Copies of this chain bind each other. A is one copy, B any other.
Amino acid sequence: MTNPYLFALERRDRLTEVEKNLVERFGSRPRLIEARSDIVREGDSPRDSCLLLSGFAARYHVLADGRRQISAMHFAGDFVDLHSLLLVKMDHSVLALTDCTISYVAHDLLREVTETQPHFARMLWLSTIIDAAIHRQWLVAAGRLSSAGQIAHFLCECYERLNIVGLAADHRFRLPLSQTDLSDAMGLSVVHVNRTVQELRKQKLIKWQGEQVNILDWPAMEAIAEFDPMYLNLQQRPR
């Protein structure tokens, strides 16, 4: 089985054989993480970064009163805390939403890669830059869209990102996310998320049963979400 991070990278640029081997090496220390356990904890200063090979995870921040905010979703092929390479301390935790296969990549190795493989280093950098672009889209959605628009945006993004790694097609995909999780990602209350999802269902925009999401009316969803996948940089070009 090839490392899904390869899909993510090759979608954005061509890789040399040496680089492909590196990616494979990144996935060579697979480890299982149980659903609902933390992959990384706020305050940690990890000595390796965690590549998600399979499963679903979320970055989250805990507030003083215990409320949570999810600031990112992570799927197979995401280099979940690549940024910890250059940070002193994690300012957030990462939760496994399902059982996950992850591979730890030593910071020493990553640092060496930045010294010896400049193009590949730029690809790593690119991964974190795309993360930031996603954050910005979430900010726009949170700040200026209705709850329906915000959730629609989220689902469109999940579809496009899962599609990259072959986990979504025909506007269908698995999304093992409770409405409580979704409300933490949207910054809304569970009750309101529930009602909004029901509204999207009633409008025949989506079907969402258990873990299975089906976007029934993509153009309409794209419209209410003002979704444009440009920010995901899905073009293969020299970087």
Contacts and interface: CB of A to CB of B under 8 A. Distances in A.
A187 B118 contact: no
Top 8 closest A-B pairs, CB basis?
A143-B187, A135-B135, A132-B132, A91-B231, A71-B136, A69-B140, A115-B118, A86-B126
Nearest to A87: B233
A63 B128 contact: no
Interface string A64-104: 10011101100000000001001111011000000000000
Given A125-B125, A128-B128, A69 B139 contact: yes
A122 interface: yes
A129 interface: yes
Contact of A131 (B69, B132, B226, B237): B132
Contacts of A226: 63-64
A235 B122 CA distance: 24
16 contacts: A59-B136, A63-B226, A69-B143, A71-B140, A83-B132, A86-B125, A87-B233, A91-B133, A114-B118, A121-B121, A125-B128, A135-B139, A139-B139, A139-B187, A143-B188, A144-B187
B135 A136 contact: yes
Copies in the complex: 2
B144 A63 contact: yes
A202 interface: no
Contact of A83 (B114, B129, B186): B129
A167 interface: no
Given A128-B132, A226-B63, A86 B144 contact: no
A230 interface: yes
A46 to B, nearest CB: 14
A138 interface: yes
Contact of A71 (B91, B92, B139): B139
Contacts of A237: 88
